[in-house]
Amino acid sequence: MSQNAMVFQVYAILSRSLDRRMSTSEPPSYTSVALAGVGTGALQTLILSPVELVKIRLQLEAAGRKRQGPVDMVRDIMRREGLRGIYRGLTVTALRDAPSHGVYFWTYEYARERLHPGCRSTGQESLATMLVSGGLAGVASWVCCYPLDVVKSRLQAQTQTHPPSPRYRGVVDCFRKSVREEGLPVLWRGLGTAVARAFVVNGAIFSAYELALRFLVRNNGRQTLVMEEMKCHDH
């Protein structure tokens, strides 16, 4: 939840900063939306990459029937691999998250406008539009980045799976060996489950975000009106 809050806040700031039009009454251009998404994805990588590394290592330990908490896992990685080990897979995570977030936010804004013309300016779309647009955004972002997600998981897991020398020497090497040994479908294994979940989860996320935004704007408007009335009474 905190990750989503950070992502939407950074995106909101970047989408306005990158838009050459200074009017806040108009929605950001689609170009600004895509670029802001790319920037948001790149920035969140600095936090998300170590978190996903620890999660993958914990899952591997659970499969091997070992028990270790997240803090202990971080200490173990730092002791054995140093700070570089904590950020193992940072490059491929950035390659995955930067473009996928650009696709994510662009798809949402484009879909909601197509489903409810004019809603980007008025903010009057229905809950169904929010759900469907958010769901499509989640699906599109996963489809465009899924092979990189497979490679990322393998790169981040390999130090425990193949000690002491890593099996894969980098992103390209992992791609080549994975496809050569298991065929091209390995890069898309599990995609159906991922996009089904993405549609539901991201439809809910965008709907919650839009509804919360409307609630805050409405309340802020009421507070401003009350303050103006109080000033009038004082005079």
Answer yes or no: do 45 and 155 share one domain.
yes
pLDDT for residue 159:
63
Residue 161 structure tokens: 């799976």
pLDDT for residue 233:
44
Q: Indicate the number of domains in the chain.
A: 2
Whole-angstrom distance, CA of residue 191 vs CA of residue 143 = 8
Answer yes or no: do 183 and 88 share one domain.
yes
Answer yes or no: do 150 and 199 share one domain.
no
- Domain range holding 214? 190-234
* CATH number of the domain bearing residue 5: 1.50.40.10
Answer yes or no: do 165 and 198 share one domain.
no
pLDDT tens profile 111-137: 999 999 999 988 888 999 999 999 999
Whole-angstrom distance, CA of residue 190 vs CA of residue 80 = 32
Answer yes or no: do 147 and 219 share one domain.
no
Answer yes or no: do 170 and 197 share one domain.
no
Answer yes or no: do 47 and 71 share one domain.
yes
The pTM assigned to this predicted structure is 0.84
Q: What is the 3-state secondary structure (H, E, C) of the chain?
A: CHHHHHHHHHHHHHHHHCCCCCCCCCCCCHHHHHHHHHHHHHHHHHHHHHHHHHHHHHHHHHHCCCCCCHHHHHHHHHHHHHHHHHCCCHHHHHHHHHHHHHHHHHHHHHHHHHHCCCHHHHCCCCHHHHHHHHHHHHHHHHHHHHHHHHHHHHHHHHHHHCCCCCCCCCHHHHHHHHHHHHCHHHHHCCHHHHHHHHHHHHHHHHHHHHHHHHHHHHHHHHHHHHHHHHHHHHC
pLDDT tens profile 71-89: 888 888 888 888 888 888 8
Answer yes or no: do 176 and 103 share one domain.
yes
Answer yes or no: do 180 and 199 share one domain.
no
pLDDT for residue 156:
84
Answer yes or no: do 112 and 159 share one domain.
yes
Ranges under pLDDT 70 in the chain:
1, 22-24, 62-67, 159-164, 220-235
pLDDT for residue 221:
52
Answer yes or no: do 110 and 22 share one domain.
yes
pLDDT for residue 161:
43
pLDDT for residue 226:
40
Q: Which of 135, 149, 120, 145 is nearest to 38 (CA)?
A: 145
Answer yes or no: do 228 and 127 share one domain.
no
pLDDT for residue 65:
60
